Amino acid sequence: MTDVMKAIVQTTEGDPEALEIQEVPKPQLQPGEVLVKVAASGVNRADLSQAQGNYPPPKGGSEIIGLECAGEIADTGDTDRSVGEKVGALLVGGGYAEYVAVPEGQLLPIPEGWSFAETAAVVETACTVWSNIVMEVGLKKGETILIHGGGGGIGLMATQIAKALGATVAVTAGSAGKLEVCQKYGADILINYKEQDFAEELKNKCDVILDIVGGPYLKKNMFALAEGGRMVTIGLQGGNKAEINMGVMMMKGIPLHGTTLRRRSLEVKAEIVRQTIENVWPMLEDGRVKHHIHEVLPLAQASTALKHLVDSTHTGKLVLEQ
């Protein structure tokens, strides 16, 4: 095994189009890590943010883009895993490469009957959704959840998991086509945010809101939340500044949550992965939750995949394959 590998390297800082395959040093394993030979990598909006210079990796993390992958263990390090074991992996970075070092606690089994590409399309979304709508804000059967960006990878995953938990699901999306896909995956209430005011449509009705927009939606989200409702923000696509009406927050008893999965500790991520395997993986295997892959592209076309995110014409997930 050589000491170099192929990986996507950004040649111009802040330019998502300046991505090309180069040879780079292979990762050196730290205690508790395994080396995974990557077969497929999921593409996430956080990858685009990193390529634009807005979301650098945590200190010590790989500079290579990519927060999820699937493949085979090539080196077990000091763990008890097996060479050749097929796994999915939640990453702090490094997924757009031939090999990646992964803490053992962030490995997931391949769902029965699933391919590497299919697995790579759901690892990060499943962990993000479960950790936020269940572990963070405790969505329960019979509650109503509003999911912004319903047609994206997070949105479709959140819709399906929420439905499997017995919740009523409202979604926002920007086109009739995207809303049609949302409905196919179980959404009950469909709102075209370009034509409808979701706050008026859902006034005081939402027990949980999963928000990817940030600042511009805070006032409307507060309006849509029911008494005792909970909001968790996981993205800032619209910006990071907002003015909050503290009176509404106090009168409705609304707790506001904000999280990022990437920067959580190894221990917290391991627990998120454990709970996701325990609760979501059975849903994947029995068909209650399905993947939705918009397109599978070769790794060399990483910049094309990120352009799809910029254009926002896709639904579900994009995957890069070796």
Predicted confidence (pLDDT) per residue in 162-202, tens digit? 999 999 999 999 999 999 999 999 999 999 999 999 999 99
Q: How far apart are the first and last CA of the chain?
A: 18
188 and 210 assigned to the same domain: yes
Interatomic CA distance for residues 31 and 302, integer angstroms: 30
Token pair recorded at residue 187: 């959404």
305 and 246 assigned to the same domain: no
Average pLDDT, the chain: 96
User: What pLDDT does residue 220 have?
Assistant: 96
Does any domain span residue 14? Answer: yes
Interatomic CA distance for residues 168 and 184, integer angstroms: 14
Specify the CATH number for the domain of residue 19.
3.90.180.10
Domains contained in the chain, number: 2
Interatomic CA distance for residues 265 and 261, integer angstroms: 9
The structure's pTM equals 0.96
142 and 53 assigned to the same domain: no
- Helices 176-184, 153-164: axis angle to 10 degrees equals 30
106 and 195 assigned to the same domain: no
Residues belonging to the chain: 322
Choose the final residue of a domain: 214, 236, 258.
258
Interatomic CA distance for residues 65 and 10, integer angstroms: 9
Does any domain span residue 268? Answer: no
When pLDDT is averaged across residues 199-207 and rounded to a whole number, the result is 97
Token pair recorded at residue 86: 């097929």
When pLDDT is averaged across residues 280-293 and rounded to a whole number, the result is 97
Interatomic CA distance for residues 41 and 28, integer angstroms: 20
Collect contacts of 222-225 with beta carbons under 8 A, ≥24 apart.
222/248, 222/249, 222/252, 222/254, 223/199, 223/248, 224/146, 224/198, 224/199, 225/252, 225/254
Interatomic CA distance for residues 207 and 116, integer angstroms: 36
Does any domain span residue 286? Answer: no
* Residue 299 exposed, middle or buried by CB count within 10 Å (0-12, 13-18, 19+): buried
Token pair recorded at residue 109: 């089994």
| In contact, 66 and 97? CB cutoff 8 Å | yes
Residue ranges making up the domain that contains 232: 126-258
3-class state of residue 158 by DSSP: helix
Choose the final residue of a domain: 258, 283, 300.
258
Question: What single-letter amino acid sits at 7?
Answer: A
* Residue 296 exposed, middle or buried by CB count within 10 Å (0-12, 13-18, 19+): middle
Does any domain span residue 272? Answer: no
User: What pLDDT does residue 56 have?
Assistant: 93
When pLDDT is averaged across residues 298-319 and rounded to a whole number, the result is 96
Specify the CATH number for the domain of residue 133.
3.40.50.720
User: What pLDDT does residue 1 have?
Assistant: 66
Does any domain span residue 90? Answer: yes
110 and 141 assigned to the same domain: no
253 and 132 assigned to the same domain: yes
When pLDDT is averaged across residues 231-242 and rounded to a whole number, the result is 93
When pLDDT is averaged across residues 282-297 and rounded to a whole number, the result is 97
172 and 63 assigned to the same domain: no
pLDDT per position as a tens digit, 68-92: 999 999 999 999 999 999 999 999 9
53 and 11 assigned to the same domain: yes
Does any domain span residue 284? Answer: no
User: Could you tell me how far CA 122 lies from the centroid of its own chain?
Assistant: 8
Does any domain span residue 225? Answer: yes
User: What pLDDT does residue 313 have?
Assistant: 87
pLDDT per position as a tens digit, 261-272: 999 999 999 999
153 and 238 assigned to the same domain: yes
* Residue 307 exposed, middle or buried by CB count within 10 Å (0-12, 13-18, 19+): middle
3-class state of residue 42 by DSSP: strand
116 and 161 assigned to the same domain: no
The model's confidence at residue 96, banded by pLDDT at 50, 70 and 90, is very high
3-class state of residue 270 by DSSP: helix
When pLDDT is averaged across residues 138-155 and rounded to a whole number, the result is 97
β-strands 206-211, 225-233: how paired? parallel
78 DSSP 8-state letter = T
Does any domain span residue 32? Answer: yes
242 and 152 assigned to the same domain: yes
251 and 131 assigned to the same domain: yes
